[in-house]
Amino acid sequence: MAHVRPLRPLKFRTVWISDVHLGSRACKADFLLDFLLSVQTEHLYLVGDMIDLRAMRRGLYWPQIHNNVIRAILGKAKHDTRVVYIPGNHDEAVRAHAGGVFGNVDIQRTAVHRTLDGKKLLVMHGDEFDGMLQCPRLMNWIGSLSYDLLLQINHFYNGWRRRFNKPYWSLSSFVKSRLGNANKHIRMYESVVADYARKRGMDGVVCGHIHMPQLTREQDFVYCNDGDWVEHCTALVERLDGSLSLLDWTQLKSSLAQADSVEKRRLSVGG
């Protein structure tokens, strides 16, 4: 992947990312590293499944770029970014250290984030509700070998697309959206998570877990799923004015490359 860095960093008040799955071959670490090196933020929330300990038990896979992602996060934690790590079900062993601080990274079981306008957002991974939901087929499929195989096919398919200068496209997400009753189960998950946060007096919730980026508003409540970095390469951001947006890095980096090319030509002519 050609690395694309904007001439000026993208500045946000808050960034949420989850479901990175470092240690698995499905992880889009190159995209994520590009994103992390392109942004500045006051708050960075790691909303679970950052490291895929389950995949690593099946076989060790840890290329240098996975180290580079960790270093980029720790670098932000060292320089004026508050980093909060909320472990998920694939890195649940880290939950034993909730309440601790390691390398300036604050490990918490859940967190409450206040937006610029004072709204309270509950931040949690989301696997806490698996036992309550009548959708074991979807959750089991996401964690199954068949899903891992589909992600590998997705990797080779997008390698072919890059050779022909075609943008990234999630084959695995396309298949998942057509899995029997998957959309129904995803809506059920969103409803249960949102209801849990509402009952605790929150104005919104930020989660991950199901690898389905979503930002919806219903009356005065907002449901946010920041997506993942194995299929969608998405992040939730709070802009400097306090507004929330979902970013698709695979799309945004293309527009950044075009904008920077125009800017460089302008500076060259002006110089």
Tens of pLDDT, residue by residue over 214-251, are: 999 998 999 999 999 998 899 999 999 999 999 999 88
pLDDT digits (tens, 9 = 90+) for 92-145: 999 999 999 999 999 999 999 999 999 999 999 999 988 766 554 445 545 544
Contact, 176 vs 183, CB < 8 A?
no
**Any idea which residue has 């998405």 for tokens?**
234
> Rg (Cα) of the chain, in Å, rounded?
18
Spatial distance between the Cα atoms of 12 and 44, rounded to a whole number of angstroms: 10
* Rounded Cα–Cα distance for residues 138 and 99 (Å): 32
Alpha-carbon span 177 to 85, nearest angstrom: 29
DSSP per residue, 16-31: EE----BTSTT--HHH
pLDDT of 148 reads: 62
Q: Does residue 261 register a pLDDT over 70? A: no
CA 201 and chain centroid, separation: 25
Task: List, in order of start, the domains of the chain with CATH numbers.
Answer: 10-270 (3.60.21.10)
